[in-house]
Amino acid sequence: MSFPTQPQVKPARPEFSSGPCPKRPGWSAAAVEERAFLGRSHRAAGPKAQIKAVIDKTAELLNVPSDYVVGIVPASDTGAYEMAMWSMLGERPVDMLVWESFGKGWATDATKQLKLDDCRVIEAAYGELPDLNDVRKDADICFTQNGTTSGARIPNFDWIASDRKGLTFVDATSAVFAQPVDWSKVDVLTFSWQKVLGGEGAHGVLVLSPRAIARLESYSPDRPLPKIFRLTKGGKLIDGIFTGATINTPSMWAVADAEDALDWVAGLGATATMERAQDNYAALQYWVDDTPWIENLVANPLNRSNTSVCLKITDPAVAALDEDGQRAFVKKMVKLLETEEVAYDINGYRDAPAGLRIWCGATVDATDIRRLTPWLDWAFQSVKASM
Given this model, what pLDDT does residue 204 score? 98
**Contacting residues for 28 by C-beta, under 8 A, at least 6 apart:** none
**pLDDT tens, residue by residue, 109-163:** 999 999 999 999 999 999 999 999 999 999 999 999 999 999 999 999 999 999 9
- Provide CB contacts within 8 A for 127, sequence distance 6+: 150, 151, 152, 297, 298, 299, 310, 312, 353
SS (H, E, C) 346-374: CECCCCCCCCEEEECCCCCCHHHHHHHHH
Residues in the chain: 387
| pTM for this model (two decimals) | 0.97
Whether pLDDT at 277 is above 60: yes
Residues of the chain with CATH 3.40.640.10: 29-268
Looking at residue 103, its pLDDT comes to 97
Q: Report the topology of domain 272-385.
A: Aspartate Aminotransferase, domain 1 (3.90.1150)
Mean pLDDT of the chain: 97
pLDDT in tens, 185-238: 999 999 999 998 999 999 999 999 999 999 999 999 999 999 999 999 999 999
290-305: string of b/e by CB count within 10 Å (b at 16+)? Answer: ebebbbbbbeeeebbb
Q: What is the pLDDT of residue 9?
A: 98
Predicted confidence band of residue 263 (pLDDT cuts 50, 70, 90) = very high
Confidence of residue 270 (pLDDT cuts 50, 70, 90): confident
Fold of 29-268: Aspartate Aminotransferase; domain 2 (3.40.640)
Q: How far apart are CA 383 and CA 81, in angstroms?
A: 40
Residues of the chain with CATH 3.90.1150.10: 272-385
Q: Is the pLDDT of residue 2 over 70?
A: no
